[in-house]
Amino acid sequence: MTEFFTSVTDSFANGVEFLRLLLVGNPLMFKIADMPFLFRPFVLLMMLGIVAGVVGTLVNLRSLEFSAEAMVHSVFPGIVGGFVYLGGIEGIIPGALFVALLVTLGLTLLGQSVASMETATAVVLTAFFGIGIVMVTYHRDMSGQLESLLFGRLLAVTDADLAPAFAVCLLAILLAATTWRRQVARAFDPVGVAAQGVSIFWLDIALNLAVGLVVVAAATAVGALLVIGYLIIPGASGRLIGRSVRSMTIIATVVAIIGGYIGMAVIAVAVDQPISPQAGSILTLVAIYLILVAVRPILYKIRPEVREHAVAAHEEETVDNSAVKIEVAR
């Protein structure tokens, strides 16, 4: 089994290296492809941008931003435990994945049985994050690693990190894709979806797990705290100017990819003061969101037909949701 995973990791690393060689000298890459230690995190951010755009759209539609925040903080003890007990950086993803599964089940069960979901979510968030901090302080030799675990070490991404991160991202995409129509219907009419016999519990499990997988994939890159920016900002950006769920998803994905691209381009360009690439990516997402906030009313004012299209898209979405319910009933 170990040989199989080693073979898969090596094959994926060879594919990434082949892609890098194809892009060497491309002016749009800002010399990112010229240096392997820059290209590896670039590839990881591109993968993260795609999955965050898709999953972040569902998070926004379901208004699960606080649950996503809880997942981000709750996975922290898994990151610490993986680092301590599973062999350093290579153990972060397995450790975080294990805790993500526990938190997914816990959040979903609490959401089904507790009257105040916000209270239950806050309890899970503080409890798990507190456990992570205790683990860090207990292992005194890790005290200097706290900043890296919280805010990531993007430039330290290795070939061995890429294949597991890609697998986790792919699994998150598959979860979102296979439940997409029901997730959208659940966002707009949860009572109607439940009345059709669809299991709300398993829908919530699928989405919470997809969110957890995004957190796991991003843990080694942008850290346990900054990943919340990838989960929330792209989806919120798509919601600002998207005419439908489809366009919202496309916009969210493009915004997330641009954030990663600019974050890496910033450090590839010679500057007097070094800039954190993960912080640069998140700040780029924030800047794009603020630009869209400013542009949105201007867009509606200059192009009145946009509002008409938005109304038509909303009506079309309503029809689509009805179709989803009928299809689910069958």
pLDDT in tens, 273-328: 667 778 888 899 999 999 999 988 887 765 555 455 554 554 455 545 454 444 44
Please report how many Cα atoms fall inside a 13 Å half-sphere around the Cα of residue 78, on the Cβ side. Answer: 25
b/e map 269-288, b = 16+ CB within 10 Å: eeeeeeebbbbbbbbbbeeb
Tell me the average pLDDT across 75-96. 82
Q: Show the domain range for 174.
A: 2-329
Mean model confidence pLDDT for the chain:
82
d(CA 195, CA 180): 18
- Does pLDDT of 56 surpass 70? yes
Burial (Cβ within 10 Å: 0-12, 13-18, ≥19) of residue 63? exposed
Q: What is the pLDDT of residue 285?
A: 93
pLDDT digits (tens, 9 = 90+) for 204-246: 899 999 999 998 888 777 777 788 888 999 999 999 988 889 9
Check if the beta carbon of residue 78 is closer than 8 Å to that of residue 128: no
Q: Give the per-residue pLDDT at 309.
A: 54
- Does 203 have pLDDT greater than 80? yes
In sequence order, what are the residues at sequence separation of 6 or more whose Cβ sits closer than 8 angstroms to the Cβ of residue 315?
A: none
pLDDT score, position 319: 44
Contact 118, 62 (CB under 8 A): no
Domain total for the chain?
1
Contact 161, 36 (CB under 8 A): no
pLDDT at residue number 250: 95
Q: Which of 44-53, 81-90, 98-107 has the highest mean pLDDT?
A: 44-53
- Interatomic CA distance for residues 234 and 58, integer angstroms: 11
Tokens read off for 171: 């699994």
Helix (H) or strand (E) holding 110: helix 92-113
Q: What is the mean pLDDT of residues 188-217?
A: 89
- Position 236 scores a pLDDT of 94
CATH code at position 89: 1.10.3470.10
